[in-house]
Amino acid sequence: MINKESNMAIEYVKEGGVSKYKVLDFHAHMGNLVNAYMPFGSPEKMLYLMDRSNVRCALFSSHHDLTVGNRFILDEIEICKKHPGRFKLYMTVFSRHCDFKEDIKIFEKYREHFVGFKLHPSYSGIMPDHSLNRPYLEYADAHGLLVLGHTWSGLETPYENVLKKYKNLKLIGGHCFYDNWRFTANLALNYENFYPELTAVLFKRGALEEMVSICGANKILFGCDMPWFSYTYYIGALLSAEITDQQREDILWNNGYVLLKDQVRDL
């Protein structure tokens, strides 16, 4: 067993991969991806995985929204309504195919089901700092919303440009500019409104420790691209990392709770 000194790790192994610690998931998806079948992509199956790992709420953008725009967003809002407090939506900014006015009408009408926006330059082909994203980023900045960005190495400059311009939105760096950990940690140090998120990061042993050594653990958020990857593995990898149990609890829940508590009342 790894981390024999960690009470959390000992308990996790004893219980067969079940953690009593609450989890907030900042990076999930829902539904099938174009023609690919996602065995755990339905809301019910996602809830099954969430319940097994004590994940209280998953913040998601659907595969539909990422690939064809927001034409199914009302269905997703219905899913959020049906499971109060369990799912919250990032509205996807599908850049060149977006209608900002229509999107914001929906966003405001169903405000309690949204936490902010999702940028995915690898799907949309539009860089984060492109003028097509501007109305959404300005809106997010005016309202202090979350913006989850798909970040990967090569996308450092366009995302830093967003941070230079917008000081009030909260930019979550999904994948931590894989595998530019040092840059990510320094961004978290230098910009108050930047938060590293762990999807894909925990595949690499030592990556989390490297970031924590630079920026501490108080801004790092948990996520794993569920249902692509499993909570059991990711939580296990977090428990195997060479950080303190307090830092693990902060990453799993406390850091995220601080970000969400003012806008998500049903956590």
Query: Which residues of this protein are in contact with Zn ion, per CB under 5 A?
Result: 225
| β partners of residue 33 | 36
Helix (H) or strand (E) holding 134: helix 134-143
User: Which residue, chain included where needed, has tokens 């990556």?
Assistant: 207
Question: Cα(243)–Cα(212) distance, rounded to whole angstroms?
Answer: 8
Which has the closest alpha carbon to 89: 109, 70, 116? 116
Nearer to Zn ion (CB atom), residue 8 or residue 30: 30
CB closer to Zn ion out of 138 and 225: 225
In terms of CB distance, is 113 or 120 closer to Zn ion? 120
Q: How far is the CB of 149 from Zn ion (least distance, A)?
A: 10
Taking the C-alpha atoms of residue 226 and residue 206, their distance in angstroms, rounded to an integer, is 22
Helix, strand, coil proportions of the chain in percent (round to 5)?
45, 20, 35
| Nearest residue to 254 via CA among 215, 222, 231 | 222
Q: How far is the CB of 223 from Zn ion (least distance, A)?
A: 8
* Beta carbon nearer to Zn ion, 86 or 150: 150
DSSP 8-state class, residue 175: E
To Zn ion, the closest distance from the beta carbon of 118 in angstroms equals: 8
Shortest CB 28 distance to Zn ion, Å: 8
Residue with smaller CB distance to Zn ion, 33 or 214: 33
Q: Is 228 exposed, middle or buried (0-12, 13-18, 19+ CB in 10 A)?
A: middle
Q: How far is the CB of 169 from Zn ion (least distance, A)?
A: 19
Is the CB of 45 or the CB of 143 nearer to Zn ion? 45
> What's the chain's length in residues?
267
Distances (CA, A) of 22 to 3, 9, 49, 228: 20, 15, 14, 21
Between 9 and 198, name the residue whose CB sits nearer to Zn ion: 198
Question: Is the CB of 112 or the CB of 225 nearer to Zn ion?
Answer: 225
From the CB of 15, what's the least distance to Zn ion, in Å?
Answer: 28
CA 107 to chain centre: 19
Least separation in angstroms between residue 7's CB and Zn ion is: 31
Q: How far is the CB of 69 from Zn ion (least distance, A)?
A: 17
32 near 42, Cβ under 8 Å?
Answer: no
User: Nearest to Zn ion by Cβ — which residue?
Assistant: 225
Structure tokens at 23: 């989890």
Q: What single-letter amino acid sits at 225?
A: D
